[in-house]
């Protein structure tokens, strides 16, 4: 479930409704560029009036979804590192980043309007993504599973480029192959002090 940026003074049921709306909207925007408020409300299991009380305009909904998805993506690194080796955590995170980009594509027009007004800035996104990648690279370098000579900013740029050219819904197989190829370049080579590549 995506993070809930609801105001702290909202009632618990209102927060739950907001979280369901954000989750339903993120899924809808990942599938189409023009989901209706009616469809989003139905998917969230709430009335259309509830949606409008939380998000009176499409721009307000897009901003909330974008920020919640970005928070969830960037905050997920520690969860992944706790559950997986660093190289596997990075590949899983790349898949989540791909989903984030797919959601952004569905919100493209409204998101561009928010960027034009300064409500959302590109400068707040890039550094957060790079910091998230850096935390996984650091863990991988500490265990020898990820290369120590690749700047996190280069990984951000490579991911962005990959999903710019292979980010549509009919290119998902290609996108996954390209992400696997990128991972091959980021994975540290095995140590050569034994026939298996393992020491001892």
Chain region(s) in the chain for CATH 1.10.10: 10-56
Q: Domain spanning 58-186 has what CATH number?
A: 1.10.357.10
How would CATH label the architecture of 10-56? Orthogonal Bundle (1.10)
Q: State residue 26's pLDDT score.
A: 92
Tell if the pTM clears 0.75, that is, is over it. yes
Q: Read off the tokens for 112.
A: 């561009």
Low-confidence ranges of the chain (pLDDT < 50): 1-4, 194-200
pLDDT of residue 5: 52
Distance CA 172, CA 169 (A): 6
* C-alpha dist (Å) from residue 106 to 28, 48, 53, 198: 8, 20, 22, 46
- Cα–Cα distance between 152 and 133 in angstroms, integer? 6
Q: Residue 66 to residues 4, 85, 100: CA-CA distances in angstroms?
A: 12, 28, 9
Structure-token pair, residue 34: 């023009």
57 secondary structure, DSSP code: S
pLDDT of residue 199: 41
- The predicted structure's pLDDT at residue 46: 94
Reading the block at residue 166, the tokens are 């292979």
What is the rounded radius of gyration, in angstroms, for the C-alpha atoms of the chain? 19
């Amino acid at each position: 479930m995506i993070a809930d940026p609801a105001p702290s003074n909202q009632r618990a049921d209102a927060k739950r409704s907001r979280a369901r709306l954000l989750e339903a909207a993120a899924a809808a925007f990942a599938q189409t560029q023009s989901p209706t408020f009616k469809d989003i409300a139905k998917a969230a299991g709430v009335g259309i009036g509830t949606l409008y009380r939380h998000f009176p305009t499409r721009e307000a909904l897009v901003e909330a979804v974008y920020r919640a998805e970005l928070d969830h993506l960037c905050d997920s690194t520690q969860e992944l590192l706790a559950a997986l080796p660093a190289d596997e955590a990075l590949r899983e995170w790349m898949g989540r980043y791909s989903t984030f980009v797919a959601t952004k594509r569905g919100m493209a027009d409204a998101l561009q309007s928010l960027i034009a007004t300064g409500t959302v800035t590109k400068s707040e996104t890039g550094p957060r993504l790079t910091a998230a990648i850096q935390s996984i690279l650091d863990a991988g370098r500490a265990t020898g599973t990820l290369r120590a000579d690749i700047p996190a900013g280069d990984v951000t740029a490579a991911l962005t480029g990959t999903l710019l050219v292979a980010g549509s819904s009919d290119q998902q197989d290609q996108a996954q192959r390209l992400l696997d190829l990128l991972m091959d370049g980021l994975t540290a080579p095995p140590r050569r002090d034994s026939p298996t590549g393992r020491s001892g």
